[in-house]
């Protein structure tokens, strides 16, 4: 049984642990900073009580940005990442946002494929942005809001 819950700062250990076991993007201090950012919500993807994925989602005016998106290695390629992304897209629609944005390394072929499946398009590039020298692709998805 899969579900999504809002993660609070008291669960920072869960975020930090999943991060250490996957992409090692942020230190505990950086996670703490994310919890304090205006408009930021952290969502956990749960299998029973186990957090198998995390997303950091920040709303700024009429746009949202995905600052972190990961699924535990053991649970990949089973549709769980898609479940979480579909949830975020619906959230954007409900909030009447215009765009969903993110950044991904050009060398991350898996993530590129994943995002293309949800109609994210490359709208910019930051050259040599990552430590390994790879470029960051700036991607956006237009949100189809109903005209009220």
Token pair belonging to 53: 């994925």
Beta strands in 7-98 (DSSP E): 40-47, 50-60, 63-71
Kindly determine how many residues on this chain lie close enough to bind ligand COA according to the rule CB under 6 A.
20
42 binds ligand COA (CB under 6 A): no
Cα 68 to chain center, whole Å? 4
- By beta-carbon proximity to ligand COA, the closer residue of 130 and 145 is 130
Q: Of 6-14, 28-36, 64-72, 120-128, which segment contacts ligand COA by CB under 6 A?
A: 64-72
d(CA 90, CA 94): 6
Closest listed residue to residue 66, CA positions, set 42, 46, 32: 42
Q: Of 32-40, 56-64, 106-114, 119-127, which segment contacts ligand COA by CB under 6 A?
A: 106-114
Residues engaged in binding ligand COA (CB under 6 A): 22-23, 69-71, 76-82, 102, 104, 108, 110-111, 113-114, 117
């Amino acid at each position: 049984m899969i579900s999504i819950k809002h993660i609070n700062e008291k669960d920072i250990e869960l975020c930090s642990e999943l991060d250490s076991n996957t992409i090692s993007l942020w230190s505990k201090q950086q996670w703490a900073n994310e919890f304090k950012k205006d408009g930021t919500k952290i969502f956990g993807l749960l299998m029973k009580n186990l957090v198998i994925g995390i997303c950091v989602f920040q709303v700024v005016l009429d746009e949202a940005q995905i600052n972190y998106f990961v699924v535990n290695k053991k649970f990949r390629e089973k549709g769980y990442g898609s479940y979480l992304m579909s949830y975020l897209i619906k959230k954007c629609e409900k909030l009447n946002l215009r765009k969903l944005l993110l950044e991904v390394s050009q060398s991350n072929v898996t993530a590129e494929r994943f995002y293309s499946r949800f109609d994210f398009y490359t709208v910019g590039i930051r050259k040599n942005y990552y430590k390994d020298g790879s470029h960051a692709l700036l991607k956006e998805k237009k949100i189809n809001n109903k005209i009220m």
